[in-house]
Amino acid sequence: MPITDSKELAPAPSSASTGKFRQLLESAPDSIVVVDQGGKITLANGMTEKNFGYRTDELIGQSIEILVPERFRDKHVHHRDGYFHHPSTRPMGTGIELTARRKDGSEFPAEISISPLMTEDGLLVTAVVRDITERKETQKALQQHANELERSNAELEQFAYVASHDLQEPLRIVASYTQLLARRYKDKLDSDANEFIEFIVDGATRMQNLINDLLSYSRVGTRGQEFESNDLNKILETVINTLDLRIKDSTATVTHDSLPTLPTDGRQMLQLFQNLIGNALKFQSDSSPVVHIGVVQLADEYLFSVRDNGIGIDSQYAERIFQVFQRLHGKGEYPGTGIGLAICKKIVERHGGRIWVESSPGTGSTFYFTLPISQGDS
């Protein structure tokens, strides 16, 4: 018989060590079965009795296929023959998973490790069989949980999209007719009516803004584009040009490191930088804004930062500000709806990264986010 891998064959234990060997077998936490070239069981430990329901004397001399469900037996004989022609050690964790069969016909998933053993009587094979029922059940439960989460996320996203999209039309009618009402009947009714009309127009406009923002938020997931290689310097230049007027008006200084080229959704990168730099310019006290966009390369990702010298954020709000419609200021103080950072978070996470802020009131803020060096759309 051709044995191609003889260097891997372990010698059989000497008679002096047989007792110890037996003890070792019996204390093993897994079933251990030794099989000869004909596929007959020559040795089985106590754990085999326990796991498979056979007494050892019922197993010795039987074909190893007794421990395999009927439907897999022919295939198993074939694999076994192949193994004896090319024996090699295959340790646990190398992916041999089989279904094992107990004496009563019930089955359980098993992980198997096998190793050849050269003896005076020829080549034997030791198989260690581990019952992985629990592990499989945990894996299955985790997978089900992940599927369920993915499904409900997609459903929520779709819901937010449809709701905000469909709400736009009736709201447009409410807003435009109240504006018309305001124009045509202002000062023709009493002063209370003037005030009421103002409230309605203001409320309708605010609701329009919120719904538009919600729509942009849900579009990050549902209307994202394929990732393409994008030079982030170019994207940043476009953002700086778009914000030019605000930069000049506030006498701001905006500088940046040289940014990398990465596989990204270009439109979303534009949104990300625009929201972060827009906020850095907006949340200022009296001084001229000084904003720097930095980047450092780490092991498998880039770490970006957008630093400002603005009003800063109390650390207790560091997570809350990334939630939808969460703001720390009234709209009279600083304009906005509170969607910008939620969109940033969604964009960064869609790209496989993380986003956070480090800041304290009065000392400015630095928003950090990471982007993996190589990535796929998740």
250 binds ligand ADP (CB under 6 A): no
Which residues are CB-neighbours of 300 under 8 A, at least 6 positions away?
372, 373, 374
Question: Residues touching ligand ADP: how many (CB under 6 A)?
Answer: 21
- In 3-state terms, what secondary structure has residue 112? strand
211 binds ligand ADP (CB under 6 A): no
Residues 349-368 that bind ligand ADP (CB under 6 A): 365
Residue 342 CB neighbours (<10 A): 21
Site string for ligand ADP, 329-348 (x = CB under 6 A): x------xxxxxxx------
210 binds ligand ADP (CB under 6 A): no
Instruction: For residue 259, count CB atoms less than 10 angstroms from its CB and return exposed for 0-12, middle for 13-18, buried for 19 or more.
Output: buried
260 binds ligand ADP (CB under 6 A): no
In the bound state with ligand ADP, the residue whose beta carbon lies nearer, of 59 and 277, is 277
- DSSP calls for 188-238: TS-HHHHHHHHHHHHHHHHHHHHHHHHHHHHHHHHSPPPPEEEEHHHHHHH
318 binds ligand ADP (CB under 6 A): no
Provide, rounded to whole angstroms, the least separation between the CB of residue 101 and ligand ADP: 59
For ligand ADP, the binding residue among 327, 352, 372, 373 (CB under 6 A) is: 327
For ligand ADP, the binding residue among 116, 221, 289, 310 (CB under 6 A) is: 310
**Across the chain, where does the E strand assignment appear?**
10-11, 31-35, 41-44, 97-101, 107-119, 122-131, 228-231, 253-256, 261-264, 290-297, 301-307, 355-359, 365-372
206 binds ligand ADP (CB under 6 A): no
215 binds ligand ADP (CB under 6 A): no
Q: Which tokens is 257 given?
A: 């490191």
For ligand ADP, the binding residue among 175, 280, 347, 371 (CB under 6 A) is: 280
Per CB under 6 A, residues contacting ligand ADP are: 275, 279-280, 283, 308, 310-313, 321, 327-329, 336-342, 365
